[in-house]
Amino acid sequence: MERPAWAPQGIDISVPSVSRIYDYYLGGSHNFEVDREAARKAMEFMPGLPKIMQANRAFMRRAVRFAVDEGITQFLDIGSGIPTFGNVHEVAQQASPGARVVYVDHDPVAVAHSKAVLDGNPDAAAVSADLRKPKDILASPEVQRLIDLEQPVALLLVAVLHFIEDADEPQRAVAELGAALAPGSLLVVTHASYEGMPISTETASGAVDVYRNDVRNPLIMRNREEIARFFTGYETVEPGIVPIPVWRPQTAPEDEDPYTFAGYVGVGRKA
């Protein structure tokens, strides 16, 4: 298997990666055949996966613009993946020049590519760290340099919490990060769920199995009530925790692909 020039040395390109599969669904070019194979296998069960990812990205852009409208100009994007067109720093800095963004991911391809994309951008940086270790994130030189924790921050957890098993205590990690944020900060979450799927749970679980067995990364489907627990200590902004296309839409939700209603999104404000 040929290693492309952009792939960092030392990564195993024979194992698919969550962030490269996501890149493939979004039409990006930073993925390997092994990623595309796993993606296509998952799509045999859930053909609407690319639609879900695109809707996720569109929501993220709406949430970033909402944050800027609320006067927030600092963004901490954890589990940020591989930067594709219309990423957080582009949306935030277009809406508010000088907005500061730190991307965090534990995938070396995502971090290396983010650093390349951000080269020459003094107000954005990428950190190699894991959501399960909030202290490492908060103590990183990039976060210390760019994020003023005395001022409100938008904390983005977009399509990342569903890759963390309950045994790894995702709620504790979210609470620990939230405790470090100033009042008025925003928590932005998207999360996969069987609820709202246009196919049976049994069929959809075939795609979940691909993640567990082929990608070696569990995909944890949670219901709305379980997802709402991540917002403990936050007041959800209107319209609350809702399917992706329903959150402050720019186009009629009924025109959206049925798959985009699989999963929930929400934005909470820290009191």
For residue 84, tell me if it sits in a domain: yes
In degrees and rounded to multiples of 5, residue 182 shows phi and psi of: -70, 155
Give the tens place of pLDDT for each residue, 55-65: 999 999 999 99
Q: Helix 201-213 vs helix 33-45: angle between axes, to the nearest 10 degrees? A: 160
CATH of residue 94:
3.40.50.150
CA distance 19 to 235: 30
For residue 10, tell me if it sits in a domain: no
DSSP string, 135-178: HHHHHSHHHHHH--TTS--EEEEES-GGGS-GGG-HHHHHHHHH
* Structural domain containing residue 234: 18-270
| Total tally of structural domains belonging to the chain | 1
How would residue 211 be classed by pLDDT, with cut points 50, 70 and 90? very high
Tell me the whole-structure pTM to 2 decimals: 0.95
For residue 6, tell me if it sits in a domain: no
Report the length, in residues, of the chain.
271
Q: Helix 18-25 vs helix 108-118: angle between axes, to the nearest 10 degrees? A: 60
For residue 7, tell me if it sits in a domain: no
pLDDT of residue 219: 95
For residue 222, tell me if it sits in a domain: yes
How would residue 30 be classed by pLDDT, with cut points 50, 70 and 90? confident
13 contacts 174 by C-beta, under 8 angstroms? no
For residue 9, tell me if it sits in a domain: no
CA distance 175 to 264: 19
The encoded tokens of residue 105 equal 């991911």
Rg (CA), the chain: 17
For residue 134, tell me if it sits in a domain: yes
For residue 12, tell me if it sits in a domain: no
Amino acid at 264: Y
Give the tens place of pLDDT for each residue, 219-265: 999 999 999 999 999 999 999 999 999 999 998 999 999 999 999 99
How would residue 1 be classed by pLDDT, with cut points 50, 70 and 90? low
